[in-house]
Structure 1
Amino acid sequence: MEDPLYLNHASYSPPTQAVADTVQALLASAMRGGPTTSAELHGEHARARAAVARLAGVPAERVALTTSTSQGLLQTAFGVRGDVLVSLDEFPANVYPWRRAEAAGRLRVHALPGSGPGMTSGTVSPSPVTPERVADALTPAIGAVAVSAVDFRTGYRADLAGIRSVIGPDRLLVVDGIQGFGAIDADWSPADVLVVGGQKWLRAGWGTGFMAFSERGLAQVEPTLGSWAGAEDQARYDGTIHPLLAGAERHAVTNLSPFTSGALATALEGITATGIGVIAAQIASTAGRLADAIEAAGLALLSPRAPAERAGIVVAGYPAGAAIEAHARLTAAGVTATLHGDDRIRFSPHSTTPGGTIDRVAELIGRSASAPG
């Protein structure tokens, strides 16, 4: 069980005991060896894909496992052709892949107007990616739009259905879902490619993740970085390039660790058993109390106030330079949160965060806001 003052699930969420037990059991099985061990271990791969399919709302054949959001987005970017619209205020994992693919001559990047260097200062946050901004930036050449389901700086929830509506049925919508999947109860069907790492809200640990495709996404995103594991007849070592697998596993690079696949499967099955609606409601309630505490302390709330527009991230804005000392005080008191620059602190509770934690953090925030210097 994580420390009760741990409020950093948007950076890394400690795996559950069930996940730890799964990994230990799989390691024990691997240590024993035997003629059926390999097949048994790699059966975790199918279990994980099935667990993703249930939560993402897509058939398992349209799910591919990967090691991280960064890896999945890189594979997606190199599989897209044409022009891509993306905000430069996205987390770097959703900027670098598109720039790398552009440099390789596979596509052209269109920066969302009003995004990028100079757009953030003091307690001013980047403008959220809205359907209106996307609509204004579209050109006939743009064939894909990339966006985060939840903004890592503020916790703002993108209107995926609205963006899908304005870009139309023929453009691809690529969604970085790592800050939302497992934390919010959302309809993911607008996404043509949904890429999620499991080390944050899913509590599956590092090295876990998935890509979930719509029919259009699977048909249009080429498996450019896919390798032998994404082809048929993998055990026929004849020096030829074999036909691609029919489903999303055509994007596979290699056989992934059965330990990480098992960890992801167990984490997702736990979410399904509890109910994503129950988890999301608890996170929203705790995040709301944090937002109240920030405003009560006289600090700027840099996250949306309306619960429908906010996920599990709540950000306190400080005068320039003041957040460093405030964060140090919180850390000294045992609170784990993220310092962003010198003027903001990001808090991210999970459904397991005790109610008393918010009372304690509210007290500490009030002290840090009123402390001299």
Structure 2
Amino acid sequence: MAHPRGTGDDGGLPGYAEHFDAAAGYLDFARYGPPSRAVLAATADALGRSARADQDTVNDLMRADLRARQAAAGLAGTDAGHTVLLPNASTGLFQAAFGIPAGTVLVPAADFPANHYPWRRAAAAGLAVPRWLPGPPTPEAVRDALTDDVVALSLSAVDFRTGYRADLAALRDVIGPDRLLVVDAMQAFGVAELPWQAVDVLVTGGQKWLRASWSTGFAALSDRALERLAPTLTGWTGVDDVALFDDVEHPAAADAGRLSITNLSPVAAAAFAAALELVAQVGVAAIEARVRTLVDQLIEAVRDHGGEILSATDPARRAGIVSFRLPGIAPATVAKALHAHAITPTVRHDSLRLSPHASTPPSTVSTLHAALGSLR
């Protein structure tokens, strides 16, 4: 059942929840973030306009690209020229992997597979080679792994399993100015304030915490990345004079547009812009503070019922993910009890994951207590 609006159950972020229709017990934002009414409206409007197309429609719809890039750049602390829209985070990671021509790239061995396969494929093509880091990518672990052949570090800003928040500023200091820092911000962007300016290649998709739905995302490149990444995968829309069809190869664009392979959906761009603008309107700091409170409350609830917390124990290194298991009870059994109380977790074979958003009402914590208590 969707949480009724206008009840005052907003958790200290007045009005934010009223932008959404997600069920109160939905705690799976680390997998997918149900979009806002504004995103739905932007999608319907753009698609509706495309169905009634005339001589101006396509050009008008394409303007959503700049609007979305400006909104993304504002949240990333950069500008639209250093930002390019992408259909997903993986496209940006492949661009980075195939743009680094040689050397070793440090990659956490337990990172999400989206940050593994680009480097595996690049190595198979004779380009950069990954070196797998055991354990969390702490500054100390990265410092110990550094050798002269290391040209980049690629990692997730927030770990998808545990919610471990990487110390990006310290990692930047450790690797120094001569190496690239590539960051998959899928589990962090828009819900955690991090020093994005320390990153050389920042990529994210919009379907999770940004709540823009699928086929949305962007990359932001530093000047250092623009200088060093080869345009190996640059497509016809990533070059100079893109509208000049003269049957010759054009130079790659000087800005982040060089990561473009082809035109993206202006419908998706309009949806992405609406989602990003709502985040900017509310403020990442306010969203993060609300999520932090909910995470603390969810952890306390799980522990009250004998659960083992698998997420980071240090609040400074913890983001919006609570991973846990109940000793002696199969995750599938726990999930069944949660579902019976209209709680939606991520269910893994060995654990469960709870990921609330700022729109999650405080009453959901009480519902979790009831669901876990039913297992007794």
Same fold (TM over 0.5): yes
Matched, 1:66 2:71: no
Q: Indicate conservation of the 8 Å contact 1:316/1:345, yes or no.
A: yes
Match of 2:113 among 92, 117, 121: 92
Structure 2 distance, partners of 1:362, 1:189, is 40
- 1:199-249 residue CA offsets vs partner (Å, 9 max, x unmatched): 000000000000101110121122211110001222222221112222100
Structure 2 distance, partners of 1:89, 1:262, is 34
Amino acid in structure 1 at the alignment position of 2:352: I
Structure 2 distance, partners of 1:54, 1:218, is 19
- 1:243-278 residue CA offsets vs partner (Å, 9 max, x unmatched): 222210011000110011111111111111111111
Structure 2 distance, partners of 1:319, 1:224, is 49
Instruction: Quote the residue 2:170 is aligned against.
Output: 162
Change (3 A) 1:255 1:142: same
Structure 2 distance, partners of 1:187, 1:365, is 37
Match of 2:238 among 230, 233, 237: 230
Structure 2 distance, partners of 1:142, 1:320, is 44
Q: Unmatched 5+ residue regions in structure 1? A: 115-126
Structure 2 distance, partners of 1:210, 1:320, is 42
Structure 1 distance, partners of 2:306, 2:368, is 14
**CA deviation after TM superposition for structure 1 residue 321, in Å:** 6.2
**CA deviation after TM superposition for structure 1 residue 289, in Å:** 0.3
Instruction: Quote the residue 1:208 is aligned against.
Output: 216
Amino acid in structure 2 at the alignment position of 1:139: T
Structure 2 distance, partners of 1:345, 1:298, is 14
Q: Alignment partner of 2:374: what SS?
A: helix
Structure 1 distance, partners of 2:128, 2:329, is 40
Instruction: Quote the residue 2:338 is aligned against.
Output: 330
Matched, 1:263 2:283: no
Aligned residue runs from structure 1 range 172-251, under 5 A? 172-251=180-259
Q: Which runs of structure 1 show a deviation greater than 4 angstroms over 4 or more consecutive aligned residues?
A: none
Structure 2 distance, partners of 1:105, 1:340, is 35
Matched, 1:76 2:96: yes
Amino acid in structure 2 at the alignment position of 1:362: H
Match of 1:108 among 123, 129, 145: 129
Instruction: Quote the residue 2:261 is aligned against.
Output: 253
- 1:149-176 residue CA offsets vs partner (Å, 9 max, x unmatched): 0000000100011111111111000001
Of 298-307 and 81-90, the range deviating more from structure 2: 298-307
Q: Indicate conservation of the 8 Å contact 2:154/2:183, yes or no.
A: yes
Match of 2:321 among 297, 305, 313: 313
Q: Alignment partner of 2:359: what SS?
A: coil
Instruction: Quote the residue 1:356 is aligned against.
Output: 363
Matched, 1:339 2:347: yes
Change (3 A) 1:93 1:321: farther
- 1:102-147 residue CA offsets vs partner (Å, 9 max, x unmatched): 10111111111x3xxxxxxxxxxxx321000000011100000011
Amino acid in structure 2 at the alignment position of 1:284: R
Q: Alignment partner of 1:201: what SS?
A: coil
Structure 2 distance, partners of 1:334, 1:20, is 24
Instruction: Quote the residue 2:6 is aligned against.
Output: none
Match of 1:2 among 22, 31, 48: 22
Identity between Structure 1 and Structure 2 (%): 45
TM-score by length of 1: 0.93
Of 30-39 and 94-103, the range deviating more from structure 2: 30-39
**CA deviation after TM superposition for structure 1 residue 320, in Å:** 6.6
Structure 1 distance, partners of 2:205, 2:310, is 25
Structure 1 distance, partners of 2:325, 2:358, is 24
Structure 1 distance, partners of 2:98, 2:328, is 39
Q: Indicate conservation of the 8 Å contact 1:291/1:301, yes or no.
A: yes
Instruction: Quote the residue 1:37 is aligned against.
Output: 57
Structure 1 distance, partners of 2:25, 2:286, is 21
Structure 1 distance, partners of 2:219, 2:373, is 42
Q: Indicate conservation of the 8 Å contact 2:306/2:326, yes or no.
A: no
Q: Alignment partner of 1:239: what SS?
A: coil
Q: Alignment partner of 1:109: what SS?
A: strand
Matched, 1:16 2:23: no
**CA deviation after TM superposition for structure 1 residue 340, in Å:** 1.7
**CA deviation after TM superposition for structure 1 residue 32, in Å:** 1.5
Q: Alignment partner of 2:47: what SS?
A: helix
**CA deviation after TM superposition for structure 1 residue 31, in Å:** 1.4
**CA deviation after TM superposition for structure 1 residue 306, in Å:** 3.2
